[in-house]
Amino acid sequence: MAEREGPDRRLTPLETLIMNVLWDDSPAAVRQVQQRLESVKPMAYNTVLTVMRILREKGFLVSEREGRSDLYRPLVTREDMARRSLGDVMDSFFSGSAEALVSQLLDGQSLTDEELRSIRAELDRALQRRKGKRR
């Protein structure tokens, strides 16, 4: 089963949109986040503010006062959340089996030869790292 760290909650799709903005460009004020999301999902200022406050309460963001604005920054990395989300998918749909998850990915996607070679190279690197740790 997948191991979890940090805040013990998942991100909703809307929270994920906001976190992606902050992972790309933080710290940021609510207005900056709202403007960055305008082309993807236009939202009222108060909606963005409410979601960012919820993210802060859940332990995903921290805010610091600067002048008249609160600047928000993530407390978790994109990689940590991706790992956690992938672990949730693996647990929920593949009974915790990484092998079943990878098999589904390989069978269910139209991967190019280059993508397959890249995946194989990543697997080879993972095996080499393991061999190096065992010595």
1-95 has which fold?
A: Arc Repressor Mutant, subunit A (1.10.10)
* Helix residue ranges per DSSP H, the chain: 13-24, 30-37, 45-58, 78-94, 98-108, 113-134
How far is Cα 109 from Cα 119, in angstroms, rounded to an integer?
Answer: 13
> What residues does each domain of the chain span?
1-95, 97-135
Residue range 28-41, pLDDT digits in tens: 999 999 999 999 99
Residue range 88-121, pLDDT digits in tens: 999 999 999 999 998 998 887 788 889 999 999 9
- Under a CB-based contact definition with an 8 Å cutoff, are residues 55 and 19 in contact? yes
Residue range 65-89, pLDDT digits in tens: 999 999 999 999 999 999 999 999 9
Q: Which three-class secondary structure state does DSSP give residue 65? A: strand
- Under a CB-based contact definition with an 8 Å cutoff, are residues 36 and 21 in contact? yes
